[in-house]
Amino acid sequence: MKGALDLPTFPNGVHPGENKERTERLPLERMPFVSRYSIPVGQHIGAPAKPVVEKGQHLRRGDVIAEPGGFVSIAYHSPVTGTVEEIGQRRGPNGQFALTIDITADPYSAQRFVAGSAMDVDSMTQQEFVARVQQSGMVGLGGAAFPSHVKYAVPEDKPVEHFVLNGCECEPYLTCDHRVMVEHADAVVRGTAIVAEKIGAKATHIGVEANKMDAVDALRSAAAGGAIGVQALTVKYPQGAEKMLIKAMFGLEVPAGKLPLDIGMIVNNTGTMASIADYFDRGLPLIERVVTVSGPAIRRPANLITPIGTPIRAVLEHCGGLHEDTREVVMGGPMMGVTIADIDAPVLKGTSGILAFTENETAWPKEYTCIRCARCLEACSLFLNPSRLGKLSRAARHGEALDYHVMDCMECGACSYACPSAIPLVHLIRISKQANREQAARGKGA
């Protein structure tokens, strides 16, 4: 399917205001080091990692502080040179308590990372490569924080036809991937080439939305002469969702309940590729990431290279603090991000953005009855019936919602965005999904 400018895209979806102009041209800058860091050891999808340090232990920047707690788990590393202050339960950005390692930074340290020599990736077996990526603490940096090595452990009977790099960054406000692609295009291409070779991909492509043509140009230039294709895509939400990106670039459907690998594809985020290159070329594990700090309530927006574990409060202060009329601070993008319950909680590996909003943007409009306009159906890229799902949820007919494939909903929020009656469709759908999960768990327990 082709969209505006005759560029590829997927069917349906929405186009919320991009609001990227505040930060899209701001070069990456470093967040200054602060005195204290908190690293929850379950930031990723999967089993929490196991702490391997003790209170009072001195650490250098990049030292391992927690080992993977299983295959679907990763290592964690100290973001600073300092001392373990405490290991215990701390509140995370979502308000939930989690096992966390607190580290006090050494006030006299220059916090320089002592780079190692480049690893000989070529001579590694695929298994060794997967183990190394797990040890690097790498997760997808797009927000979901899925351990990268799990995707690279490709079974022999599932060859990878296409390795697809996701440079869409389709959420409004966010520009962290954009700046990495522009300023570190070489590293993105280098990381991509490393992974593509190790997973045996037959072809490699990078998809970037057309509101980032400077990133398209930078990547094309960095990839010149290589085997990586860079494709500009129509700007549309939620094109950054794996299945939508595949549909946009190849016209192929990933069936419900299946993974991209089931149709020969692996999708990764472009920022992750730059971090992979950093790890294999100089031994830098995932101890920092780029965070877009933006939104109408932020005084000085920025794209900040931020150590994992930095208190969100310190990031906000570095950006000039919040306006007095701030009503909400969100982690991630405005469509799929979560409201931050405690700004003393830390920046996580999946923190692509810290956005602050005033009452103007957060006041929920008055809700009206459904006028059966079908805009929510036209918005849903999975061809679900959000209006029907919303009504079933309100009537607590959650079992019936299964017949309408409620569990396939990726909670992108496009339907809620499109609804002129301001019906909170995605919230209602989440309630139904949760009720069905609980029902399934009760069934297993019986």
- Name the site residues for ligand SF4 (rule: CB under 6 A): 370-376, 379-380, 382, 384, 386-387, 390, 409-415, 418-421, 423, 425-426, 429
* Shortest distance, position 388 Cβ to ligand SF4, whole Å: 9
- The sheet with strand 76-77 has its strands ordered as 50-51, 64-67, 76-77
Q: Which is nearer to ligand SF4, 175 or 432 (CB)?
A: 432
Degrees to nearest 5, angle at CA 287 with 167 and 336: 45
Cα distance between residue 391 and residue 398, in whole Å: 10
Beta bridge partners of 77: 64
In the complex, the smallest distance separating the C-beta of residue 410 from ligand SF4, rounded to whole angstroms, is 5
Burial of 110 (0-12, 13-18, 19+ CB in 10 A): exposed
Q: Which is nearer to ligand SF4, 10 or 146 (CB)?
A: 10
Q: What is the per-residue DSSP string for 14-48?
A: B------TTTTTPPPEEPPP-SEEEEETT-SSSSP
Least distance (Å) between residue 379 CB and ligand SF4: 5
Question: How does 29-52 read in b/e, with b if 16+ C-beta sit within 10 Å?
Answer: eebebbebbbbbbbbbbbbbbebe
- Amino acid making up residue 418: A
75 or 419, CB closer to ligand SF4?
419
Q: To the nearest 10°, report the CA torsion of 394, 396, 402, 403.
A: -80
**Cis (ω within 30 of 0) for the bond into 311?**
no
Q: Rounded to the nearest whole angstrom, what is the least distance from the CB of residue 229 to ligand SF4 in the complex?
A: 28
Cα angle, residue 240 at apex, residues 429 and 381 outer, rounded to 5°: 45
Q: Which is nearer to ligand SF4, 119 or 370 (CB)?
A: 370
Distance of closest approach, residue 393 Cβ to ligand SF4, in angstroms: 11
Q: Which is nearer to ligand SF4, 196 or 412 (CB)?
A: 412
Nearer residue to ligand SF4 within complex by CB, 344 or 378: 378
CA separation for the pair 437, 178 (Å, rounded): 36
Nearer to ligand SF4, 260 or 285 (CB): 260
When the beta carbons of 250 and 404 are compared against ligand SF4, the nearer one is 404
Tell me how far, at minimum, the Cβ of 411 lies from ligand SF4, in Å. Answer: 5
Q: Which of 428, 300, 322, 319 is nearest to 370 (CA)?
A: 428
Return the bridge partners of 292, or none: 303, 353
Minimum distance from residue 14 beta carbon to ligand SF4 (Å): 8
Rounded to an integer, what distance in angstroms lies between the CA atom of residue 268 and that of residue 168? 11
